[in-house]
Amino acid sequence: MIVTASAGKLAACRELGADLAVDYASGDFVAECESFTNGVGIDVVLDVIGGDYVDKNIAAIRVGGRIVQVGTMGGGRTEVSIGMLLPKRASLIGTVLRARPLAEKIAITQRFSKEILPLFDSGLVKPVIDSRYALSAIAEAHAYMETNANVGKILIDV
């Protein structure tokens, strides 16, 4: 399942194989999660937003589920309903690569190279590329990125 905020991105996510795609700007993704999972809840939430969505993520997660917070685009501070988290015996995990020691970053990169890159080589995992720009058009590429209209990566040819 995927939660996003535009009709174009919803369609793209469905085409990429999402079983459920919800527009969080116009829909209640917690209710959609409950309906989709027959009231069980989501196994894992990978959240780049944070902010007000933390409580919604807690509401959407199943008993024993996990919320992995990898970004704070919606704000780094929020109130969290511990009373909602505890009965679910769920984990709220925060992680970021930037703050890790160099040796750990190297180990993660090596593990990624060993375990994930072969999935790209075999075709099981494919990168989603939205657009390509020449280096001379980097301002245009950045302006496009700021619109948040891209689905996938924006590449710059150097």
pLDDT digits (tens, 9 = 90+) for 62-118: 999 999 999 888 888 888 899 999 999 999 999 988 889 999 999 999 999 999 999
Confidence grade of residue 10 (pLDDT, cut at 50, 70, 90): confident
Q: How many residues make up the chain in this entry?
A: 158
Letter string b/e over residues 40-76, b meaning 16 or more CB atoms within 10 A of that residue's CB: ebbeebebebbeebbbbbbbbbbeebebebeebeeee
- Give the pLDDT of residue 28: 87
Measured between its terminal Cα atoms, the distance across the chain in Å is 35
> What pLDDT shows up at residue 77?
87
